[in-house]
Structure 1
Amino acid sequence: MKDVPDAPAVIPPLPRDYHGFNWAGFSTLYLREIRRFWKVGMQTLAAPVVTALLYMMVFVVAVRGAAPPIHGTPFATFVAPGLIMMQILNNAFANSSSSLLQAKFNGLIGDFMTPPLTPLEQVGAFALGAATRGVVVGTVTWLAVLPFASLPIVHLWAILYYGIGAALILGFLGIMAGLWAEKFDHMAVVTNFIIMPLTFLSGTFYLVDKLPEPFRTASHFNPFFYLIDGFRYGFIGHAEGSLVAGMGMTAGLVAAFAFTCLWMFETGYKLKT
């Protein structure tokens, strides 16, 4: 028998080496977060709009004529920016927190850990995906409330700064909650005892200066108050609190929460156990 020539050695492909920022992996994870909420648009887009319209019905239509203008601003115009911001906050938080918590329960958390993605790329994709959902829902809510309230754009920079800043803050907070929570009850605690009280006690439907002490002073320590107040300033041109303090607080929380999320991914907090 003739000697059979040896088959050529099969060399397995080397792992892809990413120099610098892994844009391909980052964009893939970001698009995954976008498509995740886009596929269930009735739940993630339509439902928040219906909720906002119900609030408008209760707080504006039902008290039409009974609620006096606030600083010369019609009550509907005063309330509408708060409702838009409330949807931005709630939906940005829900996107990142539910994504990580569901991945834990479905045993898919390894899908985030095994690809060649750095903590910066992972945190950036989750946070921007959450912020995108918050901004999209806020924009749709804005269009939905226009028939009920006139919303002139007085300071576009304030609308963009506080709107995007709020979406990022709650996106980072959702990442932290999603990594910390071990069951859905834990997430419900964060939502019902932190997010919801801070939202409703932030001056969404009223002037905080009308509150009795010590609630009036306490409201000025609520970060959601500055987010809603600054966002509303972009529409009506009047702010209850300090815009400088609000801008500093927004930037500070974005930076602090971003570093906290990076630390949690770098250390594998509740990810590698």
Structure 2
Amino acid sequence: MSQQLQMGTRRFGRVNWLGVATLAERETRRFMAVWTQTVGGPLVTAGLFILIFSLAIGPRRGEVMGVPFMEFVAPGILMMTVIQNAFANTSSSIMVAKVQGNIVDTLMPPLSAGELLAGYLLGGIIRGVLVAVVILIAMILVLGMGVAHPVWLLLFVLTGATVLGGLGIIAAIFANKFDQMAAITNFVITPLSFLSGTFYSLEAMPPLMQTLSHINPMFYMIDGVRYGVIGVSDSPPMLGFAVCVGAAAVVKLICWQLFRTGYRLKP
């Protein structure tokens, strides 16, 4: 037994499943405790976007990519909301813990860097998926929309929430104050999500904007969800999914390294 301990074998196995589940549950309980803000709020915001576009543009706007304008816009709004909420969940959790000085309570338990990453990411993914389900149900009931490719929809929601949840972890680790986090959200995340084809097709954009959009991974997330809901997209879904998986792998590797070294987390 002592020889096993010297070799670094943990008594609960190679993976601390209980620890990961507990951290994920804590992250889920944290946002569900204020569900009117974290789940109800995004639903209201998405509804306002759809209402405004419907009243201001919808009646006079023709079809986009062969579908009515509101059906084209709705999936983009859904994914944009998922992106913002997955990012907000992980970033706010770590940022608050750092500012309040209780991040040590998360670092002290026997959790490896990968297990910390999994726990935090699961919280962000669960919040993103929950928001997506709520908005999708509203779209079906109010707009009468269906889901053309449910598997593609699920895959892009999961990978999109994973990427943005990871980016939220990175941003919170590097930021030392709430205003720095607000700057990252306002000047990086929000512009990238708005300028990613949420409200328009690349067909109508000048060549420079098309090129910039194809560099933006959020474009493929939104375009993929649009394909999953209405069956049309600006780029092939397989290409978009490959980009999202690649982005998720890079982001998770960076997060793992930051947790492993304790950069700006450990005193």
What TM-score do the two structures reach when normalised by structure 1?
A: 0.91
Aligned counterpart, 1:19: 13
Aligned counterpart, 2:136: 142
Aligned-partner residue type, residue 87 of structure 1: T
For residues 98-177 of structure 1, the aligned pairs below 5 Å read 98-177=92-171
2:33 aligned residue (29, 34, 39): 39
Aligned counterpart, 1:263: 257
Aligned counterpart, 1:249: 243
Q: Does 1:239 align with 2:230?
A: no
Aligned-partner residue type, residue 51 of structure 1: T
Aligned counterpart, 1:202: 196
Alpha-carbon displacement from aligned partner over 1:192-225 (angstroms, at most 9, x marks no partner): 1111111111111111221123112211111111
Q: Residues 76 and 148 of structure 1 are in contact (CA less than 8 Å); yes or no, is this contact kept in structure 2?
A: no
Aligned-partner residue type, residue 74 of structure 1: P
SS at 1:241 equivalent: coil
Q: Can you give the 5+ residue segments of structure 2 that lack an aligned partner in the other structure?
A: 1-9
Aligned counterpart, 2:266: 272
Identity of aligned residues (%): 43
Once residues 39 and 101 of structure 2 are traced to their aligned partners in structure 1, the CA distance between those partners, rounded to angstroms, is 27
Once residues 23 and 213 of structure 1 are traced to their aligned partners in structure 2, the CA distance between those partners, rounded to angstroms, is 49
In the TM superposition, what is the alpha-carbon distance from 1:144 to its structure 2 partner? 2.1
Aligned-partner residue type, residue 97 of structure 1: S
For residues 201-220 of structure 1, the aligned pairs below 5 Å read 201-220=195-214
Q: Residues 210 and 216 of structure 1 are in contact (CA less than 8 Å); yes or no, is this contact kept in structure 2?
A: no
Q: Residues 54 and 70 of structure 2 are in contact (CA less than 8 Å); yes or no, is this contact kept in structure 1?
A: yes
Once residues 246 and 39 of structure 1 are traced to their aligned partners in structure 2, the CA distance between those partners, rounded to angstroms, is 34
Q: Residues 28 and 126 of structure 2 are in contact (CA less than 8 Å); yes or no, is this contact kept in structure 1?
A: yes
Per mean C-alpha deviation after superposition, the further-off stretch among 106-115 and 17-26 is 17-26
1:63 aligned residue (57, 62, 76): 57
In the TM superposition, what is the alpha-carbon distance from 1:134 to its structure 2 partner? 0.7
When Rg is computed on C-alpha atoms for both structures, the one with the higher figure is 1
Aligned counterpart, 1:6: none
Q: Does 1:51 align with 2:45?
A: yes
| Count of residue correspondences | 258
Per mean C-alpha deviation after superposition, the further-off stretch among 187-196 and 31-40 is 187-196
Q: Residues 140 and 146 of structure 2 are in contact (CA less than 8 Å); yes or no, is this contact kept in structure 1?
A: no
SS at 2:61 equivalent: coil
Aligned-partner residue type, residue 154 of structure 2: L
Q: Residues 227 and 246 of structure 1 are in contact (CA less than 8 Å); yes or no, is this contact kept in structure 2?
A: yes
Aligned-partner residue type, residue 139 of structure 2: V
SS at 1:194 equivalent: helix
In the TM superposition, what is the alpha-carbon distance from 1:244 to its structure 2 partner? 2.9
Q: Residues 220 and 241 of structure 1 are in contact (CA less than 8 Å); yes or no, is this contact kept in structure 2?
A: no
Once residues 199 and 99 of structure 1 are traced to their aligned partners in structure 2, the CA distance between those partners, rounded to angstroms, is 21
Per mean C-alpha deviation after superposition, the further-off stretch among 31-40 and 218-227 is 218-227
Once residues 122 and 128 of structure 1 are traced to their aligned partners in structure 2, the CA distance between those partners, rounded to angstroms, is 10
| More helix as a share of residues | 2
Name the Cα RMSD after superposition: 1.3
Once residues 111 and 58 of structure 2 are traced to their aligned partners in structure 1, the CA distance between those partners, rounded to angstroms, is 53
